[in-house]
Structure 1
Amino acid sequence: HKPHHGYGRLREKWGARREIMKGLGILSIAPLLAMAEGVRGLPVIKNARFALGTNGGTGRRLRALMLHGKGGEGARFRERMAPIVDSFTGIDFTFPTAPFCIDEEKSGFAWWTLPPGVRSFEATRYIGVEKSIESLQEICRNEGPFDILWGHSQGAILLSSILASPSIEFPEPKVIILNGCAWPKPFESDLESFKKGHLPSLHVVGREDKVNPAEQGVRVARSFGQRARVFEHAKGHIVPCDEAAISCYTGFLKTHLLI
């Protein structure tokens, strides 16, 4: 494979950052490079648009549960994720809306509420999170099982908390993707003792993320153990949907879903 023009310069640029992040305990670190090199150890798919077929020969289509962030809404999140949905035509995507309305226009929703000025990675309690967990458990009973759990921001924090908590009954997926995640302070002890190394996880962090800084997502990734992969992009608090990111998602899903 002939390296993309300029790869050497980009590799040198990211060298120091990669060494720092490796020191945090992540087994495999791969920043989002301009030429879409993808996650280290995963294949680079040049044409990411493809049908994912059936679930490991079971005859059932793959299913993904997609959780929006604070202030989002299911249908609106689906619109923003359209490049991803359109790229994976063989997956059935479910986009629920969180139960707590947080604005007068009833256009923004949250998976829990917090006192004014308190951040999720600082809070000692997520007010109402039990209701959100119950609603997701009901969705899993009615529309699951889900092969993929995929969350953004508060949705990612919720999924990491659910999977790490031994007291929460929730069907385990085959893979999980957490975008713009932060450390879930109320579930800190669960995450610190989690280390569920058999569950493949992809942790997407933004180098310019001012909402949930990249080191928050890296810390969560470390708690997921040896099969965690970190994918860093150059933007802020978004779900990257460009060609490089979709190539990364494609490689990750093809590697772990037996497609």
Structure 2
Amino acid sequence: MGSYTETVRKPRFLCLHGFRTSGEIIKKQLNKWPDSVLRKIDLVFADAPFPSQGKSEVEGIFDPPYYEWFQFNKEFTEYTNFDECLAYIEDLMIKQGPFDGLLGFSQGAILSAALPGLQAQGVALTKVAKIKFLIIIGGAKFRSPSMSDKAYASPIQCPSLHFLGETDYLKQYGMELLECCVDPVVIHHPKGHTIPRLDEKAAQTVETVLERIQKMLSEDEEES
């Protein structure tokens, strides 16, 4: 296995953290994953564009500062600063890319899952390469019709890996998101709305997905 990391370009993912957390926090959360998984993927961590506008759920667990990608109403049907958020992500992808995929948790997962569709519609990320892969942890669909019509106008074509928590309050919405995906792989875990530790079976599934992504990237590069 030693030669794997030396001879093969690892897939590169931009990580979008949860609401009122930070790039540093999602980095710590993902560091619970085993080395066998982490050494197969190149993760880039960024902070969302807006400082937290209220109390963070992770206060007392993780240190500030905390950030949010955009703001929303109680029903999660109206969004504020969303266009600024899209422009900010595109800028990140230009400056720190290229990226092969997106990994998102919570608000970052909802955003990540919508971006391939928005990109395909030409309303976001028009200056960067196509998003090829998704890793969605505790995700869901956007609930406003105007957003849904654009983000999920056609099925999400890129291969996607989804983590669904048994007691996650977003689980039902995460299941709805699966219906939009052409090629989803699902890992169920017993926890709630969190980035779970990986047991042996889950780690094996993630490694298999990453190896498959790697193979697809190698084939793409050979063709080009």
Gaps of 5+ in 2: 219-224
Gaps of 5+ in 1: 1-46
What whole-Å deviation, never above 9, does each CA across 1:52-72 have from its counterpart, x for those lacking one? Answer: 4555xxxx4431111111021
Higher helix share: 2
CA positional deviation for 1:90: 4.7
Q: Which has more radius of gyration?
A: 1
Paired position in structure 1 for 2:206: 249
Q: Secondary structure at the match of 2:149?
A: helix
Structure of higher RCO (CA pairs closer than 8 Å, 6+ residues apart): 1
TM-score by length of 1: 0.69
For 2:155, the aligned partner's letter is K
Counterparts of residues 1-259 of structure 1 (less than 5 Å): 51-53=4-6, 60-84=9-33, 86=35, 87-102=37-52, 103=54, 107-115=65-73, 118=74, 122-165=75-118, 166=121, 167-168=123-124, 169=126, 170-186=128-144, 187-197=147-157, 199-210=158-169, 212=170, 214-225=171-182, 227-243=183-199, 244-258=201-215
CA positional deviation for 1:112: 0.7
Between the aligned partners of 1:110 and 1:246, the Cα distance in structure 2 is 29
Please, what is the CA RMSD of the aligned residues?
2.5
Q: CA, structure 1 residues 246+141, in 2 after alignment: closer, same or farther (shift >3 Å)? A: same
Between the aligned partners of 2:142 and 2:82, the Cα distance in structure 1 is 12
CA positional deviation for 1:50: 8.9
For 2:29, the aligned partner's letter is R
Between the aligned partners of 1:183 and 1:50, the Cα distance in structure 2 is 39
TM-score by length of 2: 0.78
Paired position in structure 2 for 1:38: none
Percent identity between the aligned chains? 26
- Select between 144-153 and 87-96 the one with higher mean Cα deviation: 87-96
